[in-house]
Structure 1
Amino acid sequence: MASAPPMDATTPLTGPMPPSYDDTMKGSYPQYPPNPGYPPQGPEMGILNQPAYPVQPPHPVYPPQGPEMGKLNQPPYPGQPMQPPVTNQTIVVQPSVIFRDQPVQMNCPACQQLIVTRLEYTSGTLTWLLCGGIAIVGCVFGCCLIPFCVDGLKDSVHTCPNCKNVLGVHKRC
């Protein structure tokens, strides 16, 4: 790429020289005309000709609320449903239980007892896929039945030992 020749410090610049600091501080530089696209500025065109902001109505004042004003005896606002009084109830929030291939200690939602779940193993998708994969490879002489004998390859069904309800299932695959 070609570059410009170096400038000599003695080479005069073309065009008008910029104004001095004192000239710019005194007022507008006479060489540049005012921009006609903007409205003229000054005290005659300033605040006097601007439209006033519209007056907003005051905010509504609501009556004070509290026990001293009989809040309990007031009817609800229109469109608001009447809510029944709150009774003292004990709500037990149980952390979410994650069912895996091991027994879980939890409160049974059916019989409300603290239990350790009982596991039952059932043949699921992974068991059948492994059986088919072994059969395709060529082990059709009974080796394809091995996945049905391994509990770690089956789905786990968690049941309650007291009420026999199914609480959760851990599916493989």
Structure 2
Amino acid sequence: MSQAPPPYPSDQKGGAPPPAYGPPPAGYGPPPGGQPGYGPPPAQYGYGQPGPYPPGQYPPTGQPAQPGYYPQNQQATTVVVAQPTIAVVQQYRESPVHTRCPYCQAEVMTGTHYETGTFTWVICLILALVGCWIGCCLIPFCVDGCKDVIHTCPNCRQQVARWSRM
């Protein structure tokens, strides 16, 4: 570590190309294993280690098998993993929803319309208590944002769901 590191290309003023990195200096030997960048596998894994049996042959029945060797008479077992099914809950809100109709079993985009619900009446009573007597307390009955949303099937015209605001 007695030498300074080479300068960065941005530090050079003459526009010369940066130094090319080549083989290691003469004081360094080749990496272990002989192949550049790779060494031999650790001995604990048993790669390339000769076993007590020639390749392709297995120990006789009754003898313990060495790691990496399997006796011929063992049956392969199949493990079946059951995945839990996840039910998707539909969010019935103001916009139409793509769903399966429980009545006609068709894949449909629900139709929506509005009906007076509890929230509409509560807003009407609050406006009446505040002092909006002459017709102003009836405004919630004209605003779709105060009403409940009814989802219907366009095929069989049955009510699929109702979204109540309250």
- After TM superposition, the score normalised by the length of structure 2 is 0.46
Q: Which has the larger radius of gyration?
A: 1
Higher helix share: 1
